[in-house]
Chain A
Amino acid sequence: MIEFANVSRRYANGQFGLQDINFRLPAGRMAFLTGHSGAGKSTLLRLIPVLDRPTSGKVLIGGYDLGKMGRHQYPKLRRQIGVVFQDHHLLSDRRVFDNVALPLRVSGYLPGDVRRRVDAALDKVGLLGRQRAQIHELSGGEQQRVNIARALVNRPRILLADEPTGNLDPELSRDIFDRFFEFHAVGVTVLIASHDIDLLKQYPVPRIALNQGRISGFEEAEA
């Protein structure tokens, strides 16, 4: 479960990135974060894997207060969270296989296990057979699918995605969202930030709307 309790994030210049955020996303559920650019979606997502800290309030994962966590505990938390970025964050000097294998190697998996899991993850995103391709040889959509495979290869409990379809055409965007749905179906908690309301409306998923760092509304899933 992801829980935000009275969370605010104020920057050094005095401006609020987030203000008094309260919501609870039960384990295994899926939700969309919506809002215009600068609404605070990325700021909110960054608080979950402790890439940033709130200036007040509490962020809890599975009941565990992240504010009480020491820095030596961050890796343990982050290995349970898969993150998909808009700009891919792929290592351009590595092959597809090495990019997807990175979380497993960091976690100390042995080569045989790495190979098996990477193949399985690439198979799920439809890229089996492209293991040896260089990143720059892939299209934008393929790169995003590598990004998703990397986020999921470690079998995380939580999947966060920040504008995962920002640069993709509608058809590819739907394909990417379909894959998120598949992972949600097997019990992964999924929180996706996107400003593409038309795309989000196609999915029966509750939406948390952000506006200028505040929650401006909740919309339950449409049937």
Chain B
Amino acid sequence: MNPQPTLESRATRGKSNRPLAAWQRHHQQCLRGAFARLIRRPVGAWATILVLGVVLSLPALVMTLGHQVERIGALWMADAARMDVYLEPDAGADERQALRDWLDGQATVADQKLITPEEGMQALADRLQIDGLDSTDSSPLPYVLELTLSDVQLETRLTLTEGLAQKAAVAEVSSGGDWIERLEQIRAFFQELGWWLLALLGLTVVFVVGNTLRLELHERRREIELIALIGGTERYMLRPLLYDGTLTGLLGGAIAAALVSSALSVVSGPIERFARSYGAAIEPQTDPMLIVLLLLAGGLLGWLSAQVIGRFYIGRLSTP
């Protein structure tokens, strides 16, 4: 005797004998329904999608700009790898040799070249195109050591500069890479700002999509209550919303990708000209990975909105 019959045993009456096929069919219906609602209410649906597109494009634009700054910075990396060491005028040959020996022992120095005052004057004359400048009796220029660094990080340069400053033969150290580091910091700032914006505006996306879905739920309130009454599960009721939210998010991501591409095409001319002035060729293009990321972010945020809003409202409509 079974004193407490279970509901499961009786519930089998109402089940399909091919649950997977029925489940697949409902997914197909929900997908078709999501597209149909876009067509049926084009103004409301596309207004939400456009807002999403603009919102998602902002962090993507900031990150893209950061990426362009990084590419421009790479143009000056060769400069960053060079360091000029000006020697004291009274530094003798022994002191110069001792300094060169010390530099040979530094792992961060890939190469060094000693420029004599005469060679320096010759180079200056060549650059300024002044005849006879190199024929003066004595050059006022100091000995210079041109260093090529194996590592262009600011910390490496600072360590080397501090080491050189302690040498009596060294008058001054000139490093052209300080502002490369600043550029790197600007790029890092853009990157960080982009992530912050993505988080903040991602939340906005959840609210925007969520509010649209809330209105949709309100319109379908009677249907949801009815489906709950006749035995629809929360998942069954939630599924159409998940498709609506994900589709809205995906389309918003596509709009964002289009906006970023358009913005990049506007700034591509100045960036190309700037790069050409350094003898480099930079052709700003939208990163395909960024497009994938925007689509994924849009779809994921849309799905998340539907989960949060749908579960909240459907739970309230279907349970006492």
Residues of chain A whose beta carbon lies under 8 Å from any beta carbon of chain B: 49-53, 62-64, 69, 71-80, 83, 89, 91, 102-103, 105-111, 113, 150, 154-155, 157
Contact = CB atoms under 8 A, between A and B. Distances in A.
Given A50-B320, A62-B5, A107 B229 contact: no
B41 interface: no
Contacts of A80: 7, 10-11, 13-14, 231
B233 A91 contact: no
Given A64-B6, A113-B16, 14 more contacts: A49-B229, A50-B319, A64-B4, A69-B7, A71-B315, A72-B233, A73-B7, A78-B230, A79-B13, A80-B14, A83-B229, A107-B231, A108-B19, A110-B21
A102 B226 contact: yes
Nearest to B220: A91
The 3 closest A-B pairs by CB, nearest first: A79-B231, A108-B22, A108-B16
Nearest to A105: B26
Contacts of A83: 229-230
Contacts of B25: 110-111
B319 A71 contact: yes
B230 A154 contact: yes
Contacts of A110: 16, 18, 21-22, 25
A52 B318 CA distance: 10
B10 A154 contact: no
5 contacts: A64-B6, A74-B231, A75-B232, A79-B11, A110-B18
A53 B223 contact: no
Interface residues of B, number: 35
Contacts of B11: 76-77, 79-80
Contacts of A64: 4-7
A207 B15 CA distance: 34
A52 B225 CA distance: 13
A23 B10 CA distance: 23
Most buried by A among B8, B226, B227: B226
B15 A89 contact: no
Contact of B227 (A50, A106, A113): A106
A67 to B, nearest CB: 11
Give the one of B18, B227, B315 with max A CB within 10 A: B227
Given A63-B3, A107-B15, A89 B231 contact: no
B222 interface: yes
B86 interface: no
Interface in B1-44: 3-8, 10-11, 13-16, 18-19, 21-23, 25-26
A51 B10 contact: no
B227 A102 contact: yes
A174 to B, nearest CB: 27
Contacts of A111: 25
A102 B6 CA distance: 25
Interface string B288-320: 000000000000000000000000000100111
A65 B10 CA distance: 15
A63 B4 contact: yes
B228 interface: yes
B46 interface: no
B236 interface: yes
A98 B27 CA distance: 18
Contacts of A50: 319-320
Nearest to A79: B231
A102 B230 contact: yes
A207 B10 CA distance: 28
Nearest to A90: B226
A51 B233 CA distance: 14
Contacts of A71: 234, 315, 319
Contacts of B232: 75, 106
A156 to B, nearest CB: 8
B14 A63 contact: no
B10 A108 contact: no
B5 A103 contact: no
B5 A157 contact: no
A83 B227 CA distance: 12
Contacts of B233: 72, 75
A91 B318 contact: no
A74 B319 contact: yes
Contacts of A49: 229
B13 A155 contact: yes
B317 to A, nearest CB: 11
B231 A76 contact: yes
B48 to A, nearest CB: 22
Nearest to A94: B223
Interface in B190-219: none
A107 B14 contact: yes
Contacts of B8: 76
A138 B276 CA distance: 76
A49 B14 CA distance: 16
A51 B317 CA distance: 10
A74 B228 CA distance: 9
A107 B16 contact: yes
